[in-house]
Amino acid sequence: MSTSENAGTSETAGTSETAGTPVNAAAGEIVPDTKDWTWVLERPCPDCGLDTPRVVREDVAGMIRANAEGWLAVLAGDEEGLRRRPEPGVWSDLEYACHVRDVFRLFHVRLNLMLDQDDPLFSNWDQDETAVAERYVEQLPRVVAGELAEAAETLAAGFERVTGEQWRRTGNRSDGARFTVESFSRYLIHDPVHHLVDVTGERV
């Protein structure tokens, strides 16, 4: 399963932002998850265990780096196993890792928009279309590992540079969801944490 950005990270209105990605078992096509994941800013996630509202904004950079280490450990596994979907409606470990890499990249772009522009409107991004178009399942785990590590470090460094009143700057999704840099940081960290739990089964 996946979660949506317009609901969380993906960006076509109604696509699930990030937390899983359902697939059509018969056709092998991704079926968008339309759940709005912004609720994680209000209460703990019962699935992964992360108490997002209690996340300290200054801790997010370190949490991104720690999460990336978890993904590197996953991607060091058997390549055939990484490509195998545990069941027809669930992404493989490799597909989840590709998604997390792209979420890190996307959120860095959006963070910069919030810091450089006044109340920007984010461009739409469909995570499910991206997974198909970029052929996540065919990508090389070692390459994905390097790209994910780089994207995580870039995003972590970006959050580390945020100071003072910058945490209150705002940005908007096309579905009407509005974030401050502070709430954006908390919303972001839930996604890779949740997906690592999807893969490892180890709750926060």
User: What would the pLDDT profile of 137-173 be if each residue is shown by its tens digit?
Assistant: 999 999 999 999 999 999 999 999 999 999 999 999 9
- Greater pLDDT, 27 or 149: 149
Largest CA distance in the chain: 51
Beta carbons of 140 and 97 less than 8 angstroms apart? no
Beta carbons of 163 and 177 less than 8 angstroms apart? no
3-state secondary structure of 179: strand
Please give the pLDDT value at position 89: 79
Residue 23: pLDDT above 70? no
Please give the pLDDT value at position 192: 98
Beta carbons of 60 and 186 less than 8 angstroms apart? yes
Query: How many other β-carbons are positioned within 10 Å of the β-carbon of residue 105?
Result: 17
153: Cβ contacts below 8 Å, ≥ 6 apart: 65, 68
Beta carbons of 68 and 188 less than 8 angstroms apart? no
The band of 22, judged by pLDDT with boundaries at 50, 70 and 90, is very low
What integer best gives the mean pLDDT of the chain? 88
Weakest mean pLDDT among 72-81, 98-107, 120-129, 188-197:
120-129
Beta carbons of 71 and 148 less than 8 angstroms apart? yes
Distances from the Cα of 46 to the Cα of 2, 27, 39, 43, 136, angstroms: 16, 31, 12, 9, 28
Residue 104: pLDDT above 90? yes
Please give the pLDDT value at position 35: 75
Please give the pLDDT value at position 176: 93
Beta carbons of 7 and 17 less than 8 angstroms apart? yes
- Spatial distance between the Cα atoms of 73 and 89, rounded to a whole number of angstroms: 24
Please give the pLDDT value at position 32: 62
Query: How many other β-carbons are positioned within 10 Å of the β-carbon of residue 77?
Result: 13
Please give the pLDDT value at position 19: 52
